[in-house]
Amino acid sequence: MNFKMGEAIEILERTPQTLACFLSGISDGWLQCNEGEGTWNVTDVIEHLIEGEKNNWIPRLEFILQEGEGKPFPSFDRYAHLQDKPERPFEQKLFEFKTIRTQNISKLKEIMDSESQLELTGSHPAFGVVKLRELISTWVVHDLTHMRQIVRVMAERYRADVGPWTEYLGILNNK
């Protein structure tokens, strides 16, 4: 096992900064491109990350601490961000993600005051028994997954433009 709380927090703290640095001020062409019908663009991914900060990670952690395996924690709607919501500037979305994430990391540090808590278990509605360690690890890997997704979607936008170099560009060949 490689999980260490301090290392997990390093990634969780850096995700909003990384995304803001990479995405702030870029054109809508980059923010709105996707990989085809039914796929997410960069803006969709940021909205999904915000939704997760509001309704997934810390709420589930708190639920596990309160309920244990007594009852499954509520399902998380991974597509809730796609429902009609008022349009806001992209920079505002990045700021909201950073703000909520900062609050959630503070709460995580406050709640998780001992290593032994990482072994506490809860009941996932689909997977059954899960540990807090697994939930927090998943939060970190979820961030990394969506950062990879953002870069992949953006690279796909130039697939036709790179010509024969496609062969050498792993991101366009799922490598």
Residues in the chain: 175
The answer to whether residue 100 scores a pLDDT higher than 90 is yes
Task: Tell me the per-residue pLDDT of 49-66, one tens digit each, with 9 for 90 and over.
Answer: 999 999 999 999 999 999
Give pLDDT tens digits for 69-98: 989 988 887 777 778 777 899 999 999 999
pLDDT interval class at 172 (50, 70, 90):
very high
- Contact of 11 with 143, CB cutoff 8 Å: yes
Rounded to 5 degrees, what angle do the CA atoms 129, 135, 139 make? 155
Which of 14-28, 84-98, 118-132 has the weakest average pLDDT? Answer: 84-98
5-172 maps to CATH 3.40.50.620: no
Q: How many CA atoms lie within 13 A of 63 on its CB side?
A: 20
Alpha-carbon distance of 155 to 147, in angstroms, equals 12
Asked if 73 and 126 count as a contact pair (C-beta separation under 8 A), the reply is no
With a pLDDT cut of 70, the percent of the chain lying above it is: 99
Q: How far apart are CA 24 and CA 90, in angstroms?
A: 8
Residue 22 and residue 127: Cα distance in Å, rounded? 34
